[in-house]
Structures are given as structure tokens and as C-alpha cells.
């Protein structure tokens, strides 16, 4: 795709450094605390309409289980080569065991993953069907979760684990999907690290003082309380978010419109989308942005350079259906293709 000439010049000048930072991803040590979720995808062929009710009968063909929510954030870091400590809660159930097994197979440290016997593992089951010679499409999604907060003792254990291990990692990432893991106690412990990155769907003010926030456009609008419809609205929102969060940086991700970085120093930079045409599914793309961006920062990149790496990574995963991840090799290839 064609990029703006001034941005292309800037990207070309930074290219060697960007390739260098990608080589350093495997040296990073990161602690990710978040709402650990299991994404299930059940697919099958539609056979007929049920006699019991006007619903489809689907003959099951396959089930796929992948990390979702905060677990996807954790998994993204591991796939990019980082050394990851996962912190969060799972239920005393089969879904929680699946998450633990997926993490273990990826070399993720799960000592900070605690079992909450009172609450189920957050699970999102998507049931999809297809007729003969037709595409598969989602029919319904079933969510399993609890709205009750975790027991105070579990909160204290999570906070203590974060405090005990924060000196051993280069960055702490808060992946808050609103499912109750990041209580005030846990969030306060995470914010003690000088390089805390926050990816939260709401209540951004709970994370005041973090190094960087990565809200998407709807999340930014919810936080500031007004629609972001014009460039003037966007600039105003960036400044308002910096004031609200007392952060050093705000990166608003805007889908096909790219992303815009706001810095406490007054800088405002727009990074265009690197892939507008081959977009099949944006599920989990925000987690990919956060992972690549954070690893860029731990490698010594500027916030702008790190955001470019995050944008590159996201441009790859949106080409795939469902929750997906990428690798440094794929990011290098995508960068080379852009430069060409």
C-alpha cells in the first residue's frame, strides 16, 4: 500500500533501528497481569431445523481452544520470543487447566496464575456453522464468567506476587478486560514498576501515572465523554487523556485510520494503518499491538518507534480469523515489504 511521503521518509530513516529492536525481543522479561480468558471455537455443518424449536441443528466437526483476553496478551509476548510471567486467576475447571497447559507449552511462567475456586475461568464459546459449499459464520456466543470480585485473600496474593517479582522484569503490562482480576489492590501493585503499560477497556483513571495507555477509539471516547469525529476532536481527546491518566504517553488505536501517539511533552504523531485491505478479523489485535510495542520499549526504542512495531504486528494478525498472534520473523518481513 502507498504511504504518505513524509511518513515513508521517517520510516526509512528508522528502519535499521527497527530491525535491531526486533532482534532484541527475546532478551525481554515481562510480567503480564490480566483477565485470563479461554476462547473456544466450535464449528460444524448445519444439518436441518430442529423439530423441538426453530433453531439450527449443527453436526460438530471440530473445537479449537486458544488464549483470549488477558491470556492472549500473555501468549502474544511468548510468541514474540519474550520471557513472560503470567499473573491472573483461573477457575477450578477444565477451561482453567487448558489455559495453564497452553501457557506451559509456550514456556510461560505460570507461578502467578492462581486458582479461584469460587469463580469460573472466563470462557467465550463461539458456535459457528456452515452449509455445504458455503462459508462458516458465527451463530451464537456463550460466555461463562462471574460478576463477583475475587476473594480478598486472592487479591492480596496477586499483589504480593507482583511486588515480589517486579524487580526481575523490564516491564509490567496490565491487560484489563473488566473481568475482575485487576482490582485496586492488584492495579496499585502493578503501577509500582517504572515501565507499566496499560491496556484497559474502561476506568483508565484507576491507572494514573502509568508510562503508556493504549485505548482504542471507543475506549478513548468513553473515557473523555465525547465523540471523536474530527482531527480537532482527536487532538483534544489525546490531551484530555494525558490529563486524566497523568501518563507519559497515550496511543489511541483507530483501526483502518491508523493510530495516534500523544506525549506529555506535547508531541502528537500519526502512524497510518499498514494494512487496510486484507482485514478479516480484528479480534485480539490490540493485545498484539501492546506486546510488540512493549518489547520495542524494553529494547530501547522511542515510543514512536515502538508504536510502529506494534502497528506492524497488528497489520499481520488482522489477516487471520479468530484470536491470532505473530512472530518477529513475520514482522521483519512486513517491514521489509513496506520499505520496498
The residue from 109, 116, 176, 287 that is catalytic is 287
Instruction: For 48-70, give the DSSP string.
Output: EE-SSSS-EEEEEEEEEEEEEHH
Residues 5 and 175: their CA atoms lie apart, in Å, by: 35
Instruction: For 268-319, give the DSSP string.
Output: EEEE--S-SSS----TTHHHHHHHHHHHHHHTT--HHHHHHHHHHHHHHHTT
Which contacts qualify for 51-59: CB closer than 8 Å, 24 or more apart?
Answer: 56/129, 56/139, 58/127, 58/129, 58/139
Q: Are 145 and 152 in contact (CB under 8 A)?
A: no
Q: Where are the alpha helices (DSSP H) in 106-216?
A: 152-165, 184-190
Residues 119 and 256: their CA atoms lie apart, in Å, by: 37
Annotated catalytic residue 287? yes
Indicate which residues carry an active-site annotation.
Answer: 287
Amino acid at each position: 500500500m502507498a504511504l504518505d511521503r513524509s511518513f515513508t521518509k521517517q520510516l526509512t530513516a528508522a528502519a535499521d533501528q527497527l530491525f535491531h529492536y526486533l532482534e532484541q525481543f527475546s532478551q525481554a522479561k515481562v510480567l503480564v497481569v490480566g483477565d485470563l480468558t479461554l476462547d473456544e471455537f466450535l464449528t460444524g455443518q448445519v444439518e436441518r431445523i430442529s423439530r423441538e424449536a426453530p433453531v439450527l441443528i449443527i453436526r460438530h466437526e471440530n473445537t479449537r481452544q486458544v488464549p483470549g483476553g488477558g491470556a492472549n496478551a500473555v501468549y502474544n509476548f511468548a510468541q514474540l520470543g519474550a520471557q513472560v510471567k503470567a499473573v491472573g486467576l483461573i477457575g477450578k475447571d477444565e477451561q482453567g487447566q487448558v489455559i495453564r497447559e497452553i501457557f506451559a507449552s509456550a514456556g510461560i511462567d505460570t507461578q502467578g496464575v492462581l486458582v479461584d475456586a469460587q469463580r469460573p475461568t472466563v470462557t467465550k464459546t463461539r458456535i459457528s456453522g456452515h452449509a455445504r459449499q458455503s462459508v462458516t459464520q458465527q451463530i451464537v456466543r456463550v460466555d461463562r464468567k462471574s460478576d463477583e470480585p475475587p476473594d480478598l485473600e486472592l487479591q492480596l496474593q496477586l499483589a504480593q506476587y507482583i511486588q515480589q517479582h517486579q524487580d526481575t522484569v523490564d516491564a509490567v503490562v496490565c491487560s484489563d478486560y473488566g473481568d475482575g482480576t485487576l482490582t485496586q489492590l492488584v492495579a496499585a501493585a502493578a503501577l509500582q514498576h517504572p515501565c507499566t503499560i496499560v491496556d484497559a477497556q474502561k476506568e483508565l483513571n484507576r491507572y494514573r501515572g502509568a508510562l503508556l495507555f493504549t485505548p482504542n477509539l471507543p475506549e478513548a471516547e468513553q473515557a473523555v465523554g465525547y465523540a471523536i469525529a474530527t482531527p480537532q476532536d482527536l487532538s483534544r481527546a489525546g490531551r484530555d487523556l494525558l490529563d486524566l491518566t497523568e501518563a507519559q504517553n497515550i496511543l489511541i488505536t483507530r483501526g483502518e485510520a491508523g493510530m495516534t501517539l500523544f506525549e506529555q511533552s506535547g508531541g502528537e504523531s500519526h502512524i497510518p494503518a499498514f494494512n487496510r485491505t486484507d482485514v478479516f478479523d480484528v479480534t485480539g489485535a490490540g493485545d498484539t499491538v501492546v506486546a510488540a510495542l512493549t518489547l520495542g520499549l524494553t529494547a530501547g526504542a522511542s515510543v514512536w518507534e515502538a508504536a510502529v512495531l506494534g502497528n506492524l504486528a497488528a497489520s499481520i494478525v488482522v489477516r487471520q480469523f479468530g484470536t491470532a498472534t505473530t512472530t518477529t520473523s513475520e514482522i521483519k518481513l512486513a517491514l521489509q515489504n513496506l520499505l520496498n
